[in-house]
Amino acid sequence: MKVWLATEGSYSDYSVEGVFSSEEKAKAFMGAFPGGDWNDVTVWEVDQVSPDIESDRKPYCVRMDREGNTVSVKVEKNSYGYTTYMYNDVNFDVHGNIYCYVWAKDEQHAIKITNERRIMTLANNEWIK
C-alpha cells in the first residue's frame, strides 16, 4: 500500500503537513494553501522494512584510516538522512579516513565490513589523498 505526503520546507524546517490516500488528494491539499513552501508530493510504501532491520542488524557508521585502524564506530541513533544508497558507498572525511555506513550484527561485524571496503578501495587505487 502507498501513501502520498504533502511536505513543506527543507532541512530543519522540513515537515510533513499531510498524509493522503492518493496523489490527487495531496495536491488538492497543497493547492488550498498557495503560500506554502511546498515540495513535490512524496510517495511512500507503508510498512516497507529493510531486510537488514528484519534480520536484527543495526545501522553503523565506521571511520577507518588507510592502514586499517578503526578511528570511530557508532550506531546511528535516528533515521535522519537514512537512504539506501549511502549504505553501499565508501566516503572520505577531511582527515583522509574512509567512513562507511553499514548494516551489521554488532560493532565487530561493522568493522569487518568496513575493512573489506577499505581493502577494495586500496586495491582499486581509489583512495583519495
Cα gap 89→84, rounded to integer Å: 10
Is the pLDDT assigned to residue 21 strictly greater than 90? yes
Same domain, residue pair 115 and 57 = yes
Question: Is 0.75 topped by the overall pTM?
Answer: no
Q: Are residues 24 and 73 in the same domain?
A: no
> Mean pLDDT over all residues of the chain?
89
| pLDDT attached to residue 55 | 81
Same domain for 71 and 25: no
Q: Is residue 83, in this structure, part of any structural domain at all?
A: yes
Q: Is the domain of 59 the same as that of 79? A: yes
Looking up cell 551489521 gives 104
Residue 104 lies in a domain: yes
Q: Tens digit of pLDDT for each residue in 69-127?
A: 999 999 988 766 566 556 668 899 999 999 998 989 999 999 999 999 999 999 999 99
The verdict on residue 129 lying in a domain is: no
Return the H-helix or E-strand segment holding 52: helix 51-54
pLDDT mean over 46-51 = 75
Domain that holds residue 38: 2-45
Task: Assess whether 112 and 67 both reside in one domain.
Answer: yes
Q: How many domains does the chain divide into?
A: 2
